Chains A and B, each alone.
Chain A
Amino acid sequence: MKKAILLSACALTIFIAGCSKNNSNPTNNNTNVTEANVLTSFATTVVNPNYADINAKAAVMNTAVATFVATPTDANLKAIQTAWKDTRAAWESCEGFLFGPVEDFNYDPTMDSWPVSKNDIDGLLADNSNALSPTDLANLQNDNLIGFHAIEYIVFGVGSTQKAANITAREKVYLTSLSQNLYNTTLQLKNSWDPSQSNYTAQFTTAGTGSTTYKTRLDAFKALVGSMADICDEVGTSKMQEPLTSNGGKPDSTLDESSFSHNSVTDFKNNITGIRNAYLCTYGGKTGSVSLSAFVASKNASLDNKLQTQMNAAIASFATITTTYEKAIYTQKSQIQAVQAAIATLHDSIENDLNAFIVANVKD
């Protein structure tokens, strides 16, 4: 009998433990927390505004470039650098959910291929027969010569030492076209989800009820959750890891993505912030009515708490890297590894727990 009690106690313990993991008491009685509303809120509060923001920021950069070309002062160069970082922040944020047209129509590699091909850029600038118009650049069909990092190469320079006086007339023409092309791509990206344009929003929000891309609602949820997990993986095990050890186990700052601008740590952090934006359904200070977080919380509050805690922890951990990533890979390795660990923890929770949750709970 004693044994039986012990066994029951054991079972009960597991039961309680199990219950705390799978809270059956909804903490959110909001009846709007439906799967369809989660998708709609995400599309209207996060995706469309984020893409519109990238486009708006790219327009600001275009203006800054024009101002600089007309009046090439260091202050005006600085304004381009700021505009680049602002555009970059909006872009890195949307990398928290890389699925749909951004992939299908290759807007990502068109804007964000890395590394730049310095040899080819030098050759292109030296070849006066090329007028370097936006069309000329597009016709080169080489994504190593265009996009964010080509602009970064010109406006920041190697080691972030660029001066207005060093930028040649040819480089100014090149820069103007690069910025224009980037703007054009951000406009295409924005239009791809815009309900008044190509309206991928409808594909996503009608998942399981007529969408040809997402046959079930679960497919749409999986696309979202899968993309959140993917960017964790890319930041933690690729973008951060490769500069750390790819040079035969030793650090190599040339493997660092935004090394000209020293913006890498900010890039990484904005990627993870993008994940949190998607999860909490928030962008630019506005929050959607029904977030994925609320949907999770309505059925499993502890999972929602865990995910939020881990997202916050991963984002906060970047503050421990107190220098540029190019230096940190030599001097702050343990801090970097702690950030990577926080991201890995978040990744596993998204890929395993959140994924299992949606598989179990998203019904069509």
Chain B
Amino acid sequence: MKRLRVIGFLGVIIVMLVECRKAAVFPATQYNDELSAGDETVFMSTSKSFSNAYPGLSGYDVYVHSLGDAVFSRTFVTAPAPVNSGLGPIYNNNSCISCHHNDGIGLPTAGELQSSLLVRISQPGTDPNGGPVAVPDYGLQLQDKAVFGVPPECKINIAYTNQTYAFDDGETYELRAPTYTLSNLYTPITGSYLLSPRLAPPMIGLGLLEAIPESQILKGEDPTDANGDGIKGHANYVWDATTQTRQLGRFGWKANTATILTQVVTAFNQDIGLTTSVMPVESSKGQSQYDNRYDDPEIPDSLLNAVKFYAQTLAVPARRNTVDATVKRGEALFMQAKCGTCHKQTFTTAVDVTKPYQSNQVIHPYTDMLVHDMGPGLADNRPDYLANGQEWRTAPLWGLGLFETVNYPGYYLHDGRARSVVEAIMWHGGEAAQSKAYFTHLSKADRTAVLAFLASL
């Protein structure tokens, strides 16, 4: 009898073990290095690993996320149309996913079907809210596509100059420096203008970045380099179009957008030409391409909120190989090189009882959410609120090791000029010059270890 009981209980244990294998929500107590985004981490490393809803959403929230997902995938067409009406008249692409393919980083081309690069434009100076000054007949963003029958604003030409460099041990690498020029202007631009190219960034973990308490971000500021480490991060404060207030900028390559809602309505308006209740005026208003149609807002609030929620609730893939000795070594070198000063490993999100799924989560985004001087090599020389022409927001590194899988072959930095993580590192300058120099001095084995660590993110 006893034997039977033992077998029986073993059976129970086996069944439990079998059924426990499915990766689902991990309680915080089982926290480990793989959990890049706390409870909102997913265990996936395929091309779809950026496309998962937070594991902890309620049934209704999953429904709203899915609705947002459907709109995010929707291809819009010229108005009037029975389905998905409202594209353009001038635009950069006809759906969210055309640029945010697989919810990942985009393709650094302009004007083609799946191009994910757009170019911001402005006149020198600042507007009354401290932001960039719109260019007459062009606004603040160049739309290089248009519906049939009206001209796009321009054609964006990208040219690269390759140059070969070497690490201290003699191994060479190549950097390609882009230049951006405009042609086929639909109307002449009067006066001088500034351009800034921006690549579609990955969509993962945005809600968690939005949930980091402002006080925690500001703690990292050191605008005068009081601690003498050569690194001077500061926050960007920007005008928020939705609330009509000045707020901490968190999103975009220069942290020029305060909230995900504003990011979404701006993208609808400027990138696709879709109006919303927040931005009910077509991007082409006042220009010859304007359609004079009384169909605004083209996206109802229900769908806008669904897309906003979708963008807020995309989970972050778990790290891989976290116990690997080379990865561990690379992580130590990453810290010694002071990469981790700006690419700050850990934040804890704010307590928010209305959003239990992202409340009080220990997350590892590897960003301080501040802007830093990255040197003349990366500079766009176009100020954006408090971020000057050489400053960029520290890009989050979570998911970095999967860029190649999610968006083959994988591009890096604000305009996709880097074709590998190595190139991205070697483009660093300004406040990051010392870290780059450290990396340059490393042996091949140590550089490989740093890259192995980055690949594990």
Query: Which residues of B12-55 are within 8 A (CB) of A?
Result: 12, 14-15, 18, 21-23, 44-48
**Given A119-B78, A143-B75, A144-B94, A11 and B48 contact (CB-CB distance below 8 Å):** no
Residues of chain B within 8 A (CB-CB) of A219 are 45-46, 405
Residues of chain B within 8 A (CB-CB) of A144 are 75, 77-78, 87, 94
Report whether B75 and A113 are in contact in the complex, using a CB–CB cutoff of 8 Å.
yes
Q: List 8 A-B contacts (CB under 8 A).
A: A15-B7, A104-B407, A115-B77, A117-B77, A141-B113, A226-B48, A238-B73, A352-B22
Report whether A119 and B81 are in contact in the complex, using a CB–CB cutoff of 8 Å.
yes
Report whether B15 and A118 are in contact in the complex, using a CB–CB cutoff of 8 Å.
no
Report whether B75 and A141 are in contact in the complex, using a CB–CB cutoff of 8 Å.
no
Report whether B147 and A109 are in contact in the complex, using a CB–CB cutoff of 8 Å.
no
CA gap between A116 and B81 in the complex, in Å: 10
CA gap between A110 and B12 in the complex, in Å: 52
Asked if B408 is at the interface of the complex by the 8 Å CB criterion, the answer is yes
Q: How far is the CB of A203 from chain B (nearest CB, A)?
A: 10
Report whether B1 and A114 are in contact in the complex, using a CB–CB cutoff of 8 Å.
no
Report whether A99 and B47 are in contact in the complex, using a CB–CB cutoff of 8 Å.
yes
Report whether A106 and B114 are in contact in the complex, using a CB–CB cutoff of 8 Å.
yes
Q: How far is the CB of B377 from chain A (nearest CB, A)?
A: 28
Q: How far is the CB of A24 from chain B (nearest CB, A)?
A: 10
Residues of chain B within 8 A (CB-CB) of A7 are 5, 8
**Given A124-B148, A142-B94, A144-B77, A223 and B83 contact (CB-CB distance below 8 Å):** no
CA gap between A140 and B148 in the complex, in Å: 9
Asked if B160 is at the interface of the complex by the 8 Å CB criterion, the answer is no
Report whether B18 and A22 are in contact in the complex, using a CB–CB cutoff of 8 Å.
yes
Task: For A114, give the chain B residue with the smallest CB separation.
Answer: B75
Residues of chain A within 8 A (CB-CB) of B48 are 226-227, 230
Asked if B98 is at the interface of the complex by the 8 Å CB criterion, the answer is yes
Asked if B170 is at the interface of the complex by the 8 Å CB criterion, the answer is no
Asked if A267 is at the interface of the complex by the 8 Å CB criterion, the answer is no
Asked if B102 is at the interface of the complex by the 8 Å CB criterion, the answer is yes
Asked if B100 is at the interface of the complex by the 8 Å CB criterion, the answer is no
Asked if B4 is at the interface of the complex by the 8 Å CB criterion, the answer is yes
Query: Which residues of A191-223 are within 8 A (CB) of B?
Result: 213, 215, 219, 222-223
Query: Which residues of B46-90 are within 8 A (CB) of A?
Result: 46-48, 66, 70, 73, 75, 77-84, 87
Residues of chain A within 8 A (CB-CB) of B148 are 117, 119-120, 123-124, 127, 140, 142, 145
Residues of chain B within 8 A (CB-CB) of A22 are 14, 18
Report whether A109 and B98 are in contact in the complex, using a CB–CB cutoff of 8 Å.
yes
B22's partner among A19, A140, A226, A356 (CB-CB below 8 A) is A356
Asked if B9 is at the interface of the complex by the 8 Å CB criterion, the answer is yes
A-binding residues in B (CB < 8 A): 1, 4-5, 7-12, 14-15, 18, 21-23, 44-48, 66, 70, 73, 75, 77-84, 87, 94, 98, 101-102, 111-114, 145, 147-149, 404-405, 407-409
Query: Would you list the 9 A-B pairs with minimal beta carbon distance, nearest first?
Result: A15-B11, A11-B8, A18-B15, A117-B77, A120-B148, A123-B148, A254-B82, A104-B408, A119-B78
Residues of chain A within 8 A (CB-CB) of B113 are 106, 109-110, 141-143
Q: How far is the CB of B190 from chain A (nearest CB, A)?
A: 28
Task: For A359, give the chain B residue with the smallest CB separation.
Answer: B21
CA gap between A311 and B353 in the complex, in Å: 42
Q: How far is the CB of B291 from chain A (nearest CB, A)?
A: 11
Q: How far is the CB of A111 from chain B (nearest CB, A)?
A: 11
Asked if A92 is at the interface of the complex by the 8 Å CB criterion, the answer is no
Residues of chain B within 8 A (CB-CB) of A141 are 111-113, 145
Report whether A15 and B408 are in contact in the complex, using a CB–CB cutoff of 8 Å.
no
**In this complex, which of A5, A22, A144, A355 has the most chain B Cβ atoms within 10 angstroms of its Cβ?**
A144
**Given A4-B1, A223-B47, A18 and B11 contact (CB-CB distance below 8 Å):** yes
Report whether A11 and B9 are in contact in the complex, using a CB–CB cutoff of 8 Å.
yes
Report whether A360 and B81 are in contact in the complex, using a CB–CB cutoff of 8 Å.
no
Q: How far is the CB of B65 from chain A (nearest CB, A)?
A: 12
Report whether B405 and A213 are in contact in the complex, using a CB–CB cutoff of 8 Å.
yes
Q: How far is the CB of B408 from chain A (nearest CB, A)?
A: 4
Report whether A8 and B45 are in contact in the complex, using a CB–CB cutoff of 8 Å.
no
Asked if A326 is at the interface of the complex by the 8 Å CB criterion, the answer is no
B77's partner among A116, A238, A242 (CB-CB below 8 A) is A116
Q: How far is the CB of A147 from chain B (nearest CB, A)?
A: 11
Report whether B5 and A4 are in contact in the complex, using a CB–CB cutoff of 8 Å.
yes
